[in-house]
Structure 1
């Protein structure tokens, strides 16, 4: 009887130790999980789509930060229909606590702000663990230049956190294979076309720099982001720098109250941009918000960009 009790105790301790070993790197932090989150909240459309792509809706109590600016992919809308949107924009700490959340998938400027009310540190006392979007880590420390691995890394880490590693690995491998096959058949010639990403803003444009996902998408499609040396992910620049870079193609990010067509017309009708190659030749391509930010629509976005860059 004593041997059975000892064996049971060892088994329980081994099980607890195994659970405690589930840890992931989240920006400059290591986050440990002793159990699978059961009441998760995701912020933003692209992060929510990552959760849904992994079939994690049964581990969620809601999402935030979508209807205030954007929309979910129509293919995923049905999957999220049973979940409430807890906040149309960034959630407050009270919103997350009120939902009895135990996990928050967000990023810097994707639901959290450095020094703001909602951060991993402010949520920790309430038992809410945070995993940060890899692309956004540049806000809290150094990171390599953006690549498709940023998005793959998030899916794989979510797989570890929620105990669906095989599902995550299969999904990421599917994305890798699809992209490799597409690039193998992509016909490019000459120097990569110069691309500028126009997110928003008229006085000064909000754009994608070296650490923002569009840079990786543009490069995968055979182009070059004219703001590749801009040591930011998403931030403002001045129009003078854009005119000087003379992009050949402008990628418009479509979301919010100002439509993609309105952004295009603003550039076409502004005399300051008249000599810009992209404007002279009316070469614009539109990406939806969730295509331009890390998430399941990135491969589709690369194909869309390549179609605009090259005659394939």
Structure 2
């Protein structure tokens, strides 16, 4: 995810997408449930070297990576879900979201290389074989080595597939499919990756069945930061769509922007009947309700208590799926 401007970064995802929550109920087993042996050894039929396409590049692996650095909270959670906890030697952008309860105790024990971007020294000291990054923007040869420089020294960089061009407007909930397939190949655990994929498919199938035949609920997706209201498009519009809603601000933001400042007057004028409020960082529902009541008391959603809350970081990987299921349950109770 591309570096955002000061202040807006908090409102935009403490992003992304984004903390990201986990899978919740469903067939997926507990955090880190795949055994260490499964993670270390390739199943019958898997052969190295393997090559994986990622964001227009080909990543080459002579063996499964033993040392992984994760660049996003939700990416760390997916690695844990795949049983790869013992491979994670560092994580950065740890402020991108509060770990879901399912993964929090595990994540707390993992080395943190930075609440935001890591320093060059911290990253290289971790000696990663693989960096799973939130975008390419850090690898500019100044802040961090370039992707080519890292590859030359044996470190592959995989970018979240929804952010290949650092353009969050193109991200979708189902980008996780691409990354799951890639991770299954890279680590020689395609069976475990398929299990997680099957759980995702089933959870989204249940939502689709629940909302079948219902008209999409018009919603405004909003968040606030230091008294300013923002609206969101991109993956949040996709979350709303899959949950049986229609983001009324979708397609109205400036080109290339997945979030934008929103005037209070415009929101009052559109008078949406439902708000999807994205909570950032440690912001509480009570704090958000107090702001909405004081600044937007005439908006129908506020008057009628039709405000539904999601963590702002419910956007990528398993958390995007969690966002869909939580929003669908709230909208179509």
What's the TM-score, normalizing by structure 2? 0.74
Counterpart in the other structure of 1:162: 187
Cα drift, residue 267 of structure 1? 2.2
1:49 aligns with 2:77: yes
**Count, aligned residues:** 282
Counterpart in the other structure of 1:293: 315
Cα drift, residue 114 of structure 1? 7.8
Cα drift, residue 138 of structure 1? 4.5
Distance across 1 between alignment mates of 2:291 and 2:57: 42
Query: Counterpart of 1:169 in 2: which secondary structure?
Result: helix
Counterpart in the other structure of 1:76: 103
Cα displacement string for residues 198-252 of structure 1 (whole angstroms, at most 9, x for unaligned residues): 244245444431x32x222211111011232135464323325544544332222
Cα displacement string for residues 40-88 of structure 1 (whole angstroms, at most 9, x for unaligned residues): 011222111111111111221122222x453212211333354222222
Cα displacement string for residues 152-199 of structure 1 (whole angstroms, at most 9, x for unaligned residues): 222222212221111112211221022213321336634x22222224
Matches within 5 A, 1:70-219: 70-108=97-135, 112-113=137-138, 117-118=143-144, 120-121=147-148, 123-139=150-166, 145-186=170-211, 189-190=214-215, 192-202=216-226, 204-209=228-233, 211-212=234-235, 214-219=236-241
Query: Counterpart of 2:116 in 1: which secondary structure?
Result: coil
Structure with higher RCO (Cα < 8 A, 6+ apart): 2
The structure with the larger Rg is 1
Cα drift, residue 287 of structure 1? 1.3
Distance across 2 between alignment mates of 1:179 and 1:261: 30
Counterpart in the other structure of 2:244: 222
Q: Does the aligned pair in 2 maintain the 1:106–1:112 contact within 8 Å?
A: no
Cα drift, residue 125 of structure 1? 4.8
- Unmatched 5+ residue regions in structure 1? 1-17
Distance across 1 between alignment mates of 2:328 and 2:167: 32
What's the TM-score, normalizing by structure 1? 0.78
Q: Does the aligned pair in 1 maintain the 2:173–2:315 contact within 8 Å?
A: no
Distance 1:105 1:284, change over 3 A: same
Distance 1:256 1:178, change over 3 A: closer
Distance 1:117 1:264, change over 3 A: farther
Q: CA RMSD in A?
A: 2.9
| Structure 1 runs of 4+ with >4 Å offset | 111-116, 240-245
- Unmatched 5+ residue regions in structure 2? 1-46
Partner of residue 24 from structure 1, selected from 48, 53, 61: 53
Counterpart in the other structure of 1:13: none
